[in-house]
Amino acid sequence: MIPNLRSSDRRAIWLVLTALAVIVALLVLFRGFLVLPKILMVVMIFLAAVLTGRIKPLVGDWFVFIAFIYLFDSLRGTIYILTCTLQLPAHALYVLNTEKALFGGVPSVALQNILLRPDISGNVGWLEKFLTLIYGTHFIAFLLVGLMIWIYKAKDFYLYKMSLYLLSGTGILFYFLVPTVPPWMAANHFGLMAPLNHFNVELFNLVIPDISNGFDTNPIAAMPSLHAGFPILCSLLLWRLYRWKGALFYIYTLAVLFAIVYSGDHYVTDILAGLVLAAACYAVAVRILKKRPEAPENGRAVGAAFGGMAMRKRFLLGLGVLLIGVVIGGMNKTYFVLHANSYNPNVPKYVDFFKNEDRYRDSYLVQAYFGNHFLARKDHRTALRYFEKSFELAQNPIDRNEAQAKIRFCRRALGQKN
């Protein structure tokens, strides 16, 4: 922390940290698991601005940035809709093969084989619950780091924002160009590896309303891992500003990385890609910062710099970006709710299976995928052929009954007798 910090600044950050600690403690006490929404951190940022007398700088420094983050959330969902609608190629094998080449297997599977010990009822233990809590804080942790930089190191806040703009923007671009299946889907939907217990999703039992709820559904936005990229980028920023004083956040980052591998949300390869991308975006932001005029030293000076017309322009820009994000997100949510069957995980065109169909002719899960894929596209004749194949491959009554139900549905749609 910088010397001679005003007592109001100290109170603000400690209030935020205490409030978040209380929320997490209550979740633990009442066995609640959820992804903490960004709106919670936005409220905390507003309270900190009130306590430190920085309402005007709040608009100039934060409004456009927060609006951009909500637009980013909306675009994640839009990219998935486009991937499904336009039948853009989605991928499953390149990252799995890379993982096996690097590690001789899949670390997610190895970790669950070693550590995961559910009880007789299938309930997971304290480690999985702790990691689920860690996972749930990911979506506000980077905003908390931004708040601390804004209060304590205001002249470096531009670097923080520029780094995250670059990371979010390039991440979205990769999600569009290379939609990639995460480990849990590769295992449980396609049988490409041993089954994985996606325990964090199963543990989540609470939802706090946020304007982005339902906006950003994209199950194949895995490469690169921004679950890894965001905390890694924040760690780089904290190292630049505080060195070892940021050790607690570095430990938190390692916990997030472990959690997303152990839960099957990401391959280690996804994390390495997220690390490289975060480092590259940080380096580019530093270069941009060097070419920028010297920033003011504190929050009050920043507020003065953004007065008058400049303040109004920033407010209008932030409002415009936020409205675009909300409109796009609202359209996403309508698609996901009203056309759920058109945007389930079976709809994207996973090109690895189409290119190597013979390799998977004896896989019940892949044949069922083909059937569900063509069913979603209303090609009942092709879907029927794959469902009949999956019925022959089914190894248990549940799979056979599911395949048989789909066969009957397709035959009815084709006007055939069952």
235-256 per-residue burial string, b: 16 or more CB within 10 A, e: under 16? bbbbbebbeeebeebbebbebb
Judge whether residue 403 has pLDDT over 80. yes
E-strand ranges in 243-369 read: 349-350
**pLDDT tens digits, one per residue of 82-102:** 999 999 999 999 999 999 999
Phi, psi dihedrals of residue 305, rounded to the nearest 5°: -65, -25
Degrees to nearest 5, angle at CA 19 with 14 and 24: 125
Name residues whose C-beta falls within 8 Å of residue 307's C-beta, 6 or more positions apart in sequence. 56
- Position 313 scores a pLDDT of 84
80, 63, 78, 82: which is closest to 323 by C-alpha?
A: 63
- Residue 37, classed as helix, strand or coil, is coil
Do the Cβ atoms of 77 and 238 come closer than 8 Å? no
Q: How many other C-beta atoms lie within 10 A of the C-beta of residue 373?
A: 23
- Give me the mean pLDDT over the 231-254 stretch: 96
Query: Does residue 329 register a pLDDT over 70?
Result: yes
| Residue 342: pLDDT over 90 | no
d(CA 19, CA 39): 14
**Which H or E run includes 90?**
strand 89-90
Global confidence as pTM: 0.88
Which contiguous run of DSSP H or E holds residue 139? helix 126-152
pLDDT, tens only, 138-187: 878 999 999 999 988 989 999 999 999 999 999 999 999 999 999 999 99
pLDDT at 373 over 90: yes
User: In this predicted model, which residue has the larger pLDDT, 416 or 348?
Assistant: 348
What pLDDT is stored for residue 4 in this prediction?
44
Mean pLDDT score, 28-57: 72
CA pair distance 378, 287, nearest whole angstrom: 51
Rounded to whole angstroms, the Cα distance separating 135 from 220 reads 18
**What phi and psi, each to the nearest 5 degrees, are found at residue 165?**
-55, -50
Q: Higher model confidence: residue 252 or residue 331?
A: 252
Share of the chain above pLDDT 90, in %: 57
